[in-house]
Structure 1
Amino acid sequence: MNKLNVALRALPALLFLCSGLTHAAPSRCFTYDAATLARTRSQVAQKNSPLLPVYQALLSAADKALKQPALSVTQKTLLPASGDKHDYYSFGPYWWPNPDMASHLPYIRQDGKTNPDSKTDATDSTRLVRFGDDLRVLGLAYYFSGNKAYADKAAEMARVWFINSQTRMNPNMAYAQAIPGVVDGRGIGIIDSRVLIDVMDSIELIRPADTLSEADFQAVKRWYGTFSQWLLTSDNGFEEGNWHNNHGVFYDAQVVAFSLFSDHPDVAKQQMRVAMLRHLTAQIDRKGYLTAETERTRSWHYTQFALSAFQRLARYGELTGVDLWNSAIDDHRLEQALTVPAQFLDKPAEWPFAELKFDAQEALGNMIAAAHAYPKNALFREKAQQLSVAYPDNINLLTITAPLVR
């Protein structure tokens, strides 16, 4: 049986609680589906498992994370407008010094071309990405291997980022993606904090190791609850939620995920309804194209990126009773949006929009999650299997219900 079929064999039901697992069983699962994750783990443990390449890649990444120092927003060398190092600070990646001004201000935008100065340790954006990456692999490595060292490190990093009074991040993104010479921070910067979804999931995965005390776990939950409320009540959050592109849907994914994690299921369910009405119809046209993404210079990439957010939302819909997988509003459907890129995987030259660098691997997580969600759709099964063979060490082969596109 091939690796995709191993992972996607029919299940009697999608489970919320992770009861019945053998070791390192978390009591709650959110972005990951408990039964699928457990089944994948059992396959990884088998001799000559086809999932060994990705499992080995996961452990290699986690071993590297073990050697890294704990990260904190207070490690940056530039300050946000608040003057508080505890406030997250970044500036827009596509904004460059103005060549027509001696001061180089205000910065000007070049879509799709990343200013390398936006990705240094002077600000927090790369630090937050490393933190999210490390927590993701540490949590998954503990879950799949049972090696407590991974949970120890994850707990240490969580305490530094969320709890320790000297190093913790303030629960807001008010100074994210500033534009030098233009604005101190923007709602659009909230896209940066999407990585905290994977952090949240890893916190749940390591809980059985008892490396994070109950008091610390509750402190992390309170941080997420406060951050979720900031997303819902701040001007920046209001601005971000109303974008009809990947920013808007990732905003909804964050609010729903963080509300579930911090024990506010009613807020999560309401935001799922908002997402259905605000983004399903506004972002996906009747042919399945994500029109705000197809106008970008990297249209394929941003289509995959937005679809990964939609699929995470659809997973949360399973937990809140809002069926995004199968809903159709005026013939706008998520399944059709996933069908579009599947049809072009074998013929990238025919992709009808601009793309600076077509990368088929970016569709892997979306195709695997789609094959899981729509088991009767042969196209998704075919493309997911094709990509899984081509990229045997891609982490999406382990996580399945949490498509990851960077």
Structure 2
Amino acid sequence: MLSVVLLSSVWLGTAAAGDITSYANAFVDPNFILNKAGWNKNSSSAENAIVGGALTLASLGPWAVTNKTILPPSNDIHDYLSYAPYWWPDCSNVHNTTQLTQQQINNECVFVNRDGQFVPDQHDVDNVGAFYDLDDAVFYSAMAWAITGDETHAANVDRWINTWFVNNATAMNPNLNYAQLIRGVGKNVGAHTGLLDFKGMAKIASGVLTLRKGNAASWTQATDDGLKAWLTAYLPWLRNNTLAVQEREATNNHGSFYYNQEAAVYLLLDDNAGAKASVQEYFSGIFQNQIAASGEQPLEASRTHPIHYRAYNLAAIITNAAIAQYVGYNAWNLTTSLGGTIQKATDYAMVQSPVASNEQGAVVEINQIVACVSNVYGDPTGKYKQFLSS
């Protein structure tokens, strides 16, 4: 069984209670979370950090897609909305640019892509930030419930899921038509990259399944049924909408994260066979060209922030492998058609210098990956422990 890294002292043991680390993605087997006897015997500091993080996140909720003042092109506040992060306005074709309102900028200017450069107003409408907080809060709080037995944590998850997905007054419409909206003349349309906003469905699946399997008293049948109804309506969009199909066919991290989301939706619908088919499709498909024999990830290395993107895609790959293991499919030792493996990709990413791309601050993003790989493959030479201690 995959040891849960979140309860490993090598990863979170030195964290202070209340510290929150939002990992690119994660799925932890709920059976392991519920089996405290199998946890690392030195995990008390990590447990305290998880409980403290859950309490900190709880103070921010609940979150709702309706908490925004800017409407999507549909004018329906229940439609999810986020802005494409790397698309910038070029208003040189518009007169009186200093007097343009935000709405005029959105509708009259041309928007151009600047890879890796975040547009300053990205979070003026922040459904994406709200969902990221939600998936972290569900993830941490479900584990906090398992650690403490305190029903407050389970009740919080129930309330948050109900607010985002179930309550008619606040529920999100089951689509991502306006996720990572590309603004500008002739555009104002969602992008397939917007599906990335919901990659954290894997965290939500880990949390909700923990409460379900653990029979948490405060996780209500009404919320569970409502969530399943929402996901049942969402799944056809996720499988068949043009944006979703384009994202599923993306060969880089976007495709990897798509399968995180799709498999998680199946898990939440109690369809383990669907989840297994999803991750098998990933590992027999786009995964085959993602890692070279050297361990390099060519599609991520070509980006403006290769240190970040190597770790980012590995987080998605490992999440797919963790879900695969949960549904009875071992993907950890698969080899790509190029001769690469998950472990090779991790070993390669560990030794890359961040100087050339000015990414010194991104080096820590690989820590989650290294800790997980150490758990899965072992660390006979101590290189992973040494890396995490440095």
TM-score range normalised by the length of the shorter chain: 0.7 to 0.9
Question: Tell me, what secondary structure is at the counterpart of 1:108?
Answer: strand
Give the 5 Å matches for 1:156-235: 156-181=159-184, 182-207=187-212, 208-235=215-242
Q: How many residues align?
A: 354
2:119 corresponds to 1:115? yes
Partner residue of 2:139? 136
Partner residue of 1:336? 344
Cα offsets for 1:63-118 (capped at 9, x unmatched): 22333341110111111112211111111111222152336512222222212311
Cα offsets for 1:241-288 (capped at 9, x unmatched): 111111000001111121122122332222222211222222212222
Shift, 1:39, TM fit:
6.3
Cα offsets for 1:289-341 (capped at 9, x unmatched): 11111111111111101001100111122234433211224323222212212
**Distance of aligned partners of 1:69 and 1:260 in 2 relative to their CA distance in 1, 3 Å threshold:** closer
Shift, 1:123, TM fit:
4.0
Aligned partners of 2:315 and 2:375: how far apart in 1?
14
Give the 5 Å matches for 1:54-73: 54-73=46-65
Partner residue of 1:253? 260
Aligned partners of 1:36 and 1:198: how far apart in 2?
15
Cα offsets for 1:192-219 (capped at 9, x unmatched): 0012221222122334322122232122
Root-mean-square deviation over aligned CA pairs: 2.7
Contact 1:324–1:334 (CA<8 Å) still a contact in 2?
no
**Distance of aligned partners of 1:348 and 1:118 in 2 relative to their CA distance in 1, 3 Å threshold:** closer
**Distance of aligned partners of 1:110 and 1:156 in 2 relative to their CA distance in 1, 3 Å threshold:** same
After the TM superposition, list the runs of 4 or more consecutive aligned residues in structure 1 that deviate by more than 6 angstroms. 39-42
Contact 1:58–1:137 (CA<8 Å) still a contact in 2?
yes
**Distance of aligned partners of 1:294 and 1:169 in 2 relative to their CA distance in 1, 3 Å threshold:** same
Aligned partners of 2:75 and 2:133: how far apart in 1?
24
Shift, 1:227, TM fit:
2.3
2:373 corresponds to 1:365? no
Equivalent residue in structure 1 for 2:323, among 303, 310, 316: 316
Q: Partner letter of residue 342 of structure 1?
A: M
Partner residue of 2:33? 37
Equivalent residue in structure 2 for 1:293, among 280, 296, 300: 300
Q: Partner letter of residue 277 of structure 1?
A: S
Question: Tell me, what secondary structure is at the counterpart of 2:304?
Answer: coil
Shift, 1:61, TM fit:
2.4
Q: Partner letter of residue 115 of structure 2?
A: D
Q: Partner letter of residue 369 of structure 2?
A: N
Aligned partners of 1:333 and 1:184: how far apart in 2?
37
Aligned partners of 1:61 and 1:123: how far apart in 2?
21
Aligned partners of 2:93 and 2:265: how far apart in 1?
43
Partner residue of 1:383? 384
Aligned partners of 1:317 and 1:124: how far apart in 2?
29
Aligned partners of 2:150 and 2:120: how far apart in 1?
37
Once the two structures are aligned, what percentage of the paired residues are identical? 24
Structure 2, gaps ≥5 residues long: 11-25, 95-103
Partner residue of 1:18? none
Aligned partners of 1:96 and 1:303: how far apart in 2?
25
Cα offsets for 1:14-67 (capped at 9, x unmatched): xxxxxxxxxxxxxxxx931356535667757x7xx4x44433332232222333
Contact 1:142–1:205 (CA<8 Å) still a contact in 2?
no
Partner residue of 1:263? 270
Aligned partners of 1:34 and 1:298: how far apart in 2?
33
Aligned partners of 1:250 and 1:201: how far apart in 2?
15
Aligned partners of 1:170 and 1:329: how far apart in 2?
38
Aligned partners of 1:374 and 1:8: how far apart in 2?
17
Shift, 1:362, TM fit:
0.9
Structure 1, gaps ≥5 residues long: 10-29, 391-406
Contact 2:279–2:320 (CA<8 Å) still a contact in 1?
yes
Contact 1:78–1:123 (CA<8 Å) still a contact in 2?
no
Shift, 1:152, TM fit:
1.3
Contact 2:291–2:336 (CA<8 Å) still a contact in 1?
no
Question: Tell me, what secondary structure is at the counterpart of 1:286?
Answer: coil
